Amino acid sequence: MLPTVLSTVPKCLLFFIAVILSQYKIACKSSLLKVTDPETWKKLAVEKFNKFEQSLYYSSLKRPKNIILFIGDGMSLSTVTGARYLKAEKMDVLGGDVQLEWENWPVASLVRTFNSDRLTTESGSAATAFMSGVKGPHDTVGITGTVKCCECTELKEMERAKSSLMYASKAGFSTGIVTTTRVTHATPAAAYANMLHRYWESVGPSNKQGFHCVDAAAQLLTNASHVNVIMGGGAAEFYGPSDNTTFNTKGKRSDSRNLLQEWKDMQTEMNRKHVLLHTNDEFKRTDWSSVDYVLGLFTPSHLAYQLENQDQPSLAEMTEAAIKVLSRNPKGFLLLVEGGRIDHGNHENRAQYALTETLELEKAVEKALSLVDQRETLLLVTADHSHSYGVVGYPTRDTSVLDVDNTAKVSVNSVSLLSI
């Protein structure tokens, strides 16, 4: 009957019907994995661990005392390639003659970065995945796949992803977060916050029922007061427009709270050796052996790109300081280090900035390697998602990755850039 009916329909409408039916088919596709169920990822993790424990490689390993996770935000494979070539140029050798530090490590793998409801992830749900081990929905932080972005609703316990950093703190390990972005930004926030929208950094909304969704900065105080080291940017998320601070920038808070002062008061009440840092001079003067808790917010927003950095601690310097504080714990530590502005350089199509930030992440990795006992420390370097950056053309190996393809035919109206 159906073919008979369709035979009377004009061809243009048949095409339209086919499109609608195909969309319906896509909407009805079933998933082989229950990606919205946190238990799915726990079961998969157990299976992976059990399989790994049976491998010959595992038998030669010992359980690490310390873990350092390095995240290159938006550090695609092609970004690593471009950074490798820029490193060679800075060393005055041919492109391809040198590698980045982690490219020489014995174990390498690839990560699938889809989230619970999108094929392409962004930093918030990606950070939830590597900090909590579950897939979360688009534009959320610390949320399981059972809910969606971005309306303010009261979360159930099963909807809150549990961060490994929080587990480590409760278990007695020292913990730290170091980033070149705001400490309330997507990647670092996933270590301590649960938010239905990643951009609720200083102001959380309220719903019609009067329930208030708490912002990331406020959650840092309530959830991460036991995190030993937090360093990066984003001070303006912690105070209001009328508060007097080191910065000549109005704060973003609208609730009259000064969370910087609250953090200091909280640490004082608990009789902790602590320090609140805002300037590079304060950073350099700090005796890291005499403090147990550090909150360093060196800019109102993100830290400056290293190419524009006039007077801020570098990622490597902050990593060194964090390790000096955390490594005093005989039980061990967990440290998250993010080169967050790699992503921003790629977003802005500024290849030199993105590649330089990648080399800054490498410096942080190298600094960590020089400070820890590698026999008892697990170091991981990865990215949260890829980017559109590419190295194109067929240039000779002595060509700068920031230059044009010297083998391409160039006219007055066109050039062939290598980095796009």
Q: Which residues are annotated as a binding site for Zn(2+)?
A: 73, 343, 347, 384-385
Please give the Cα distance from 277 to 257 (Å, whole number).
19
Picking from 415, 393, 407, 408, the residue whose alpha carbon sits closest to that of residue 82 is 393
Alpha helices in 333-405 (DSSP H): 341-347, 351-371
153 and 171 Cβ atoms separated by less than 8 Å: no
Residue numbers in the known binding site are: 73, 185, 187, 338, 343, 347, 384-385
Q: What is the dihedral of CA 302, 303, 307, 313, to 10 degrees?
A: -170
Radius of gyration of the chain (CA): 24
Catalytic residue set: 123
Picking from 166, 112, 138, 128, the residue whose alpha carbon sits closest to that of residue 38 is 128
Residue 225 carries which side chain, given as an amino acid letter?
A: S
Token pair 């390993």: residue: 61
Q: Which two tokens stand for residue 45?
A: 């993790």
Backbone φ and ψ for 363, nearest 5 degrees, come out as: -60, -40
Reduced 3-state DSSP string for 10-79: CHHHHHHHHHHHHHHHHHCCCCCCCCCCHHHHHHHHHHHHHHHHCCHHHHCCCCCCEEEEEEECCCCHHH
Complete DSSP assignment for 278-343:
-SHHHHHH--GGG-SEEEEE-SSSSPPPGGG-SSS--HHHHHHHHHHHHTT-TT-EEEEEEETHHH
Q: Which two tokens stand for residue 318?
A: 């902050």
Token pair 């174990």: residue: 107
DSSP 156: P
Alpha helices in 150-243 (DSSP H): 164-170, 186-189, 216-223
Residue numbers in the known binding site for Mg(2+) are: 185, 187, 338
